[in-house]
Structure 1
Amino acid sequence: MVGAVQYGALAACIVLFVPMVMAGWHLSRNKMLFFSGALFITLAVGVHLTPYFPAISNFVSSVKSSSIVVSENRDSCISLLHNIVYDVKKPSLEDLENMRDDVDGSWAWARSDPVAACGFQKLGRSDSSDLLNGSWVVVAGDSQARLVVVSLLSLVLRSEEMDSVKVDLFKRHSDYQIVVDEIGMKLDFVWAPYMTNLTDLMMEFKQSKNFPDVLVMGAGLWHMLHVTNSSDYSVSLRLLRNSVVSMLPVSPEFGTDGPVTGSVSIRSPHMFWLGMPVLINSMLISEEKREKMKDAMRNAYDTELYGSKLLRRSGGPLLLLDIQLLSQKCGQQCTVDGMHYVGLVYEAAVHIMLNALLIESHQKL
């Protein structure tokens, strides 16, 4: 369709401007009218006969298919973002309690050919700042979301600035806000441990008609512990999904792979769902957690999430930051309480998010 419009515009320009140029050569009006009519007829016949000439048709098809290939490559790279590997040693209890992000270890993307072809990269402070320059970022959720905020801010702030940030950010059950003046980035952390908190936040965005550029959110651990009902969680997920779609500047219809062709979106925020981590039951610090947060219950909550159509993979609006997969790959040596993991896990999640932003904004990696 785009190709037809472009060819039509080109033909119209030729028909309009060529005679005007010839008029500058002082041709008579009759000659100009004759030439214009002949030119128009020639172009019209050429457009209709194009399908019968393989060389021309192949060229037109190649132009169209090239844009499709680019789109497919982006989708393929998005699906490979979580292909990472770790090299870590188990942290001490002091490391985790102090939220240290310099625990002995590292992570990297796998060295397979498909992953290498995508050109994923860890962004340094300068590149991260350029990408997030002037952005409003909102991260909403529980303690997992706080750890994501720590990793994100560690990329754009200096180490001495991070010391004071951690003191304020980890005040129990509280919101946090910071403006990084150097790059004009505003970041809001919203304490939202339940799905209803997230739904209320979406309604606030809709009512104010003020939407963040990047939205990261996730909840489930508190619901699992204090409500312990996957069916109720399912209802909450669907309500949240509806509120997310309704808050978009123009709500698109979603297909199995995201917005359907022809849907319109005006400055829609980049939205991510922060998944729950692997829960190592034997390491959970209370009897209540060990009793209520068993593998069977954790799997039931995952089933409801994947069936809610909240995630992009099931036709929803949010791209999953798969903390379950990232924490599983890091393993038991990456946690001392069975729930909160070392900074490497959340650092990997942040870099996955940033690379997804680069891909979806059509910027070169």
Structure 2
Amino acid sequence: MLGAVQLGVMAACVVLFVPMGMAGWHLSRNKMLFFSGALFITLAVGVHLTPYFPSISDLASSVSSFVVFDSRVSCLSLLHDVVWRSHDRSWAWSPSRPVSACAFQKLSPPDASDLLNGSWVVVAGDSQARLLALSLLQLVLGSDRTDSIKADLFKRHSDYQIMVDEIGMKLDFVWAPFVTNLTDMVVGFKRNRNYPDVLVMGSGLWHMLHYTNASNYGVGLERLRSSVVSLLPISPDLGVDGPVAGSLSVRSPHLFWIGVPTLINSMLNTEKKRERMTDAMRVAYNEALQSSKLLRRSGGPLFLLDIQSLSWNCGVRCTEDGMHYDGVVYDAALHIMLNALLIQSHQRL
């Protein structure tokens, strides 16, 4: 019996050459019309032949995949393009055409609950991470329920855990003020073979205050990167959008890095902070972060939640101590994270 390819070729010959021969006989005096008819028939046959030639189908699929991938990458890069309203300290995504095309949205509590349904979320780091965890709980639980647990969440230098039974979401806050603490936590995930669905972490303020050594900080970040990469289920040829596509035997966690906020030196509440946490030191620590290749923008695995740009744009009116900002800043970071999750998981609300 003839194979599918051979039958396709035979059918193509009949469909292509018989009409073309007839058209050529009757329309020989009008070569332009003959050419147009031949082109139309050729295109029609091409559409019918596509399923018989995997290479053609693969090419069409790869072009489609590239368009989707390019859209995802460009939208991820626009997530921090927000504008602030000074009169009420609120924020919104820029109305520019590229940003509008991405259809970013502030998620409602039901939408956020649907997105995080059944997830294990780990938020680890210092006070900046704790404030982001608070914003997440306020969105999912509401302000009234969050007020009742805030005292436990903000116990000094302590971990916190909660299970939101209504949606099956588990949230762990891990007090990890130094990069070494984060590395130990990640190593523990690998050792126990138990990985969160969403891992959000950040560190820098404590190291800047107590060690004031950007080079040492950078070395710690490189070690953390190696530990995080070891969590990924495939060999990490990492680019701006994280690991290359492949066949995954284990679901890869969604990874985020909480950036250091803008530090307003004159407002810092101790002499030691004002002496050590200077603009020059903050710049040096940011450069160490970029050089470590921990972030996606520099070829690493973690998507940056840029608290520095968000806090800078919100301004002095949004902080009382030059380091910790009003909830609106962390609310913006949270919705940027949730929209990144939607993009990464190919979901739409």
Normalised TM-score (structure 2):
0.84
The 5 Å alignment of 1:1-365 reads 36-37=1-2, 39-43=4-8, 56=46, 60=57, 61-88=59-86, 104-255=88-239, 257-262=241-246, 264=248, 266-365=250-349
The Cα of 1:159 is off from its aligned counterpart by 2.4
- Quote the Cα distance in structure 2 between the aligned partners of 1:287 and 1:70: 51
Shift, 1:64, TM fit: 3.2
Decide whether the 8 Å contact of 1:312 with 1:319 is kept in 2: yes
**Residues 46/220 of structure 1: CA separation in 2 closer, same or farther (3 Å cut):** farther
Q: Conserved in 2, the CA contact under 8 Å of 1:252 and 1:264?
A: no
Q: 1:252, 1:263 within 8 Å by CA — same for their partners in 2? A: no
Cα distance change on mapping 1:65 and 1:249 into 2, 3 Å? closer
Unaligned runs of 5+ in 1: 1-35, 48-52, 90-103
RMSD: 2.1
1:240 deviates by 0.2
CA distance in 2, matches of 1:341, 1:45: 72
CA distance in 2, matches of 1:226, 1:45: 78
For the residues of structure 2 that align with 1:312 and 1:45, how far apart are their CA atoms?
51
For 1:157 and 1:214, locate their aligned partners in 2 and report how far apart those are by CA, in whole Å: 18
Structure 2 distance, partners of 1:45, 1:190, is 67
- How far the C-alpha of 1:46 sits from its partner, in A, is 9.1
Distance 1:128 1:340 in 2: 25
In the alignment, is the contact (CA less than 8 A) between 1:257 and 1:314 conserved in 2? no
Gaps of 5+ in 2: 13-41, 51-55
> What's the offset of the Cα at 1:38?
5.8
For residues 9 and 243 of structure 2, the distance between their equivalents in structure 1, rounded to whole angstroms, comes to 35
Is the Cα–Cα contact under 8 Å of residues 89 and 314 in structure 2 kept in the other structure?
Answer: no
Moved over 6 A (4+): 44-47
Give the Å deviation of 1:303: 0.3
If asked which structure has higher relative contact order (CA below 8 Å, sep 6+), I would say 1
The separation in 1 between residues aligned to 2:222 and 2:11, in whole angstroms, is 53
- Please state how far the C-alpha of 1:262 moved relative to its aligned partner: 4.2
C-alpha distance 159-287 of structure 1, shift in aligned 2 (>3 A): same
How far did 1:71 drift? 1.2
What amino acid does structure 2 have at the position aligned with 1:361? Answer: S
CA displacement at 1:265 relative to structure 2: 6.2
Show CA shifts across 1:105-126 (max 9, x none). 3111111111111100001111
DSSP-derived class of the 2:2 partner: helix
TM-score, normalisation: structure 1: 0.80
> Separation in 2 of the partners of 1:356 and 1:245?
19
The answer (yes or no) to whether the contact 2:73–2:241 under 8 Å persists in 1 is no
CA displacement at 1:88 relative to structure 2 = 3.9
User: 2:20: which partner in 1?
Assistant: none
Q: Deviations over 1:33-68 (max 9, x none)?
A: xxx226453347899xxxxx7773898555432221
Cα offset for 1:247? 2.1
Q: Aligned to 1:188, what secondary structure does the other structure show? A: strand
Contact 1:252 1:265 in 2 (8 A): no
SS of residue in 2 equivalent to 1:254: coil
In 2, are the aligned partners of 1:271 and 1:317 still within 8 Å (CA)? yes
